[in-house]
Amino acid sequence: MLKFSSSSNRVVNSKKAIAECLENTLIDEQSTDCDLIVIYASIGHNLNDIISEAHKLAPSAQVVGCTCAGIIGKEGPNEAMRCLAIMTVKGGKNEFSVVIKDNIAGPNSYEIGAQLAQVLKNKNPNVNMIHFLANGIDIAADKALEGIESVFGTDVPIFGATSSDNMKAINNFQFVDDQILEKGALVIGFADPTLEVITQASHGFAIVEMPFEVTRSESNRVFELDGQAAWKCLTDNLGLQETAQLADTIPIGALAEELPENLQEEYGNTHILRVVAKKETDGSIYMPVECPVGTKLYLTKRDEDLIFDGLDKMVGQIVKNCNGRRPVAVFHADCVARGRGMLNRILKDEIVFRMQHPLCKDEDVPWLGMYGLGEFARLGGRSQFHNYTTALYVIVKRND
């Protein structure tokens, strides 16, 4: 059976940061070696130093991960320019497998997702849950999920996040061992038959405007909204200058698509949110999912009561689904906008406490979370892509 342990810190020196994390994740009290290290590192860290030191201290381990805008560990949230969180895993080599691919983008997201999944299934046909990390700037995340599901079906849960930088949307990185990619996608397939994962996501925004309509697009790149250049249309309606940066629209510029009625009660909201991931000089924008002509996109506003009420309901539902089982480990993805882009330090600490306390009580449960650009979690019986959410992935022992 897989055994998990986690640690996080804000040590500035990258080699010392990973060394301290590994020291704090000792499972057997004797060695920092393990079989897998999953790393979330804020963009200021030196990834080469982190990876080389991890291999030195844990020579048996496969080292994987991505950059982010901050981390959330069992120690709490941290958005320093250099902060680091890890999850170490020990177990049989046949209980997990890793695959990475380069150059994922909107138009090829389905193809890359399917390729990742096929290689993963060939390596390990017993995979029963998939941790997915991918480029956060130019990806049609919904199509990537469909590609993975084309191989594994919809019953294998996919959880994880799209990576990020410090809210600049310039570049972000994904890595497996010494292979560091800027536009990559990776999957970690877990194949421990004694474990299952419970996933759910929640946001806290309300609709404020009639929708824009996508009038010209290619895959996830939107050229026009309501017949105007997309970026100008959006900034005009937000009361911003066309020279505004992406960060200026977060979180006031959250866009939303209406959910089918049968999903609204489960989600606790009538709409699912979409963030503008990138803008071009020609006024086009990149959405994180495919946006065909005719797509309706609504403007929204942040509602603090909805944020906390939705979070409490989600955590309560997860606790109910745990049915008394103590989590073996928790993976976690929060939108960067739910960090410094939206909530001050006190509120961030409170929102994390309201996740961790009901699930962990006073027990030492391994916890690995990040502030990224998007989140993958179940909705309506299949894996979905979300924005502006808290998404929790709670691994527990199976009941059967």
The pLDDT tens digits for 90-119 are 987 799 999 999 999 999 999 999 999 999
pLDDT at 306 over 80: yes
Contact 134, 277 (CB under 8 A): no
Tell me, yes or no, whether 340 and 248 share the same domain. Answer: no
347 exposure class (CB count in 10 Å sphere: 0-12, 13-18, 19+): middle
Tell me, yes or no, whether 353 and 376 share the same domain. Answer: yes
Check residue 336 and give left, alpha or beta (phi > 0: left; psi -120 to 50: alpha). Answer: alpha
What pLDDT score was predicted for residue 151?
A: 98
Q: Smallest Cα–Cα separation from 327: which of 398, 399, 394, 400?
A: 394
Percent of the chain with pLDDT over 90: 81
Give the end of a domain, one of 245, 277, 302: 302
How many angstroms from the chain centroid is the CA of residue 378? 13
Which tokens go with 39?
Answer: 């790393």
Tell me, yes or no, whether 160 and 275 share the same domain. Answer: no
Tell me, yes or no, whether 326 and 392 share the same domain. Answer: yes
Cα separation, 38 vs 54, whole angstroms: 11
Cα separation, 233 vs 229, whole angstroms: 6
Within 10 angstroms of residue 226's Cβ, the number of other Cβ atoms is 13
Which tokens go with 54?
Answer: 């991890």
pLDDT at 21 over 90: yes
Tell me, yes or no, whether 20 and 168 share the same domain. Answer: yes
Give the end of a domain, one of 245, 275, 302: 302
4 exposure class (CB count in 10 Å sphere: 0-12, 13-18, 19+): buried
Radius of gyration of the chain (CA): 20
Cα separation, 266 vs 375, whole angstroms: 17
Tell me the per-residue pLDDT of 4-17, one tens digit each, with 9 for 90 and over: 999 999 999 999 99
Question: Cα–Cα–Cα angle for 17, 201, 256, nearest 5°?
Answer: 110
What pLDDT score was predicted for residue 29?
A: 64
Give the end of a domain, one of 302, 330, 358: 302
Tell me, yes or no, whether 297 and 313 share the same domain. Answer: no
Reported as a pLDDT band with limits 50, 70 and 90, residue 78 is very high
Q: What is the mean pLDDT of residues 340-360?
A: 80
Q: What is the mean pLDDT of residues 326-344?
A: 82
Q: Smallest Cα–Cα separation from 68: which of 331, 355, 351, 349?
A: 331
Which tokens go with 309?
Answer: 């009420």
Contact 395, 329 (CB under 8 A): yes
Q: Smallest Cα–Cα separation from 375: which of 180, 70, 134?
A: 134
Cα separation, 355 vs 327, whole angstroms: 13
What pLDDT score was predicted for residue 339?
A: 66
> In Å, what is the CA distance from 56 to each residue of 21, 49, 52, 53, 344?
14, 11, 6, 5, 38
What's the half-sphere exposure (Cβ side, CA atoms, 13 Å) at 19?
9
pLDDT at 336 over 90: no
Tell me, yes or no, whether 386 and 289 share the same domain. Answer: no
Residue at token pair 């049968």: 262
Considering the entire predicted model, what is its pTM? 0.95
Tell me, yes or no, whether 263 and 363 share the same domain. Answer: no
The parent domain of residue 363 ranges over 3-201+307-397
Reported as a pLDDT band with limits 50, 70 and 90, residue 350 is confident
**Any idea what DSSP says for residue 328?**
S
Tell me, yes or no, whether 227 and 344 share the same domain. Answer: no
Q: What is the mean pLDDT of residues 69-74?
A: 95
Q: No. of H helices and E strands in the chain?
A: 8, 27
Tell me, yes or no, whether 214 and 120 share the same domain. Answer: no
Contact 242, 260 (CB under 8 A): no
Contact 138, 171 (CB under 8 A): no
Amino acid at 340: R
Cα separation, 34 vs 145, whole angstroms: 29
Tell me the per-residue pLDDT of 127-136, one tens digit each, with 9 for 90 and over: 999 999 999 9
3-state secondary structure of 255: strand
Q: Smallest Cα–Cα separation from 71: which of 63, 80, 60, 58?
A: 80
Contact 367, 329 (CB under 8 A): yes
pLDDT at 166 over 80: no
Work out whether strand 3-9 and strand 36-42 pair parallel, antiparallel, or are unpaired: unpaired
Contact 376, 161 (CB under 8 A): yes
Cα separation, 267 vs 369, whole angstroms: 21
pLDDT at 281 over 80: yes
pLDDT at 341 over 60: no
What pLDDT score was predicted for residue 340?
A: 60
Tell me, yes or no, whether 331 and 273 share the same domain. Answer: no
Contact 289, 140 (CB under 8 A): yes
Tell me, yes or no, whether 195 and 209 share the same domain. Answer: no
Count structural domains, the chain.
2
**Any idea what DSSP says for residue 283?**
S
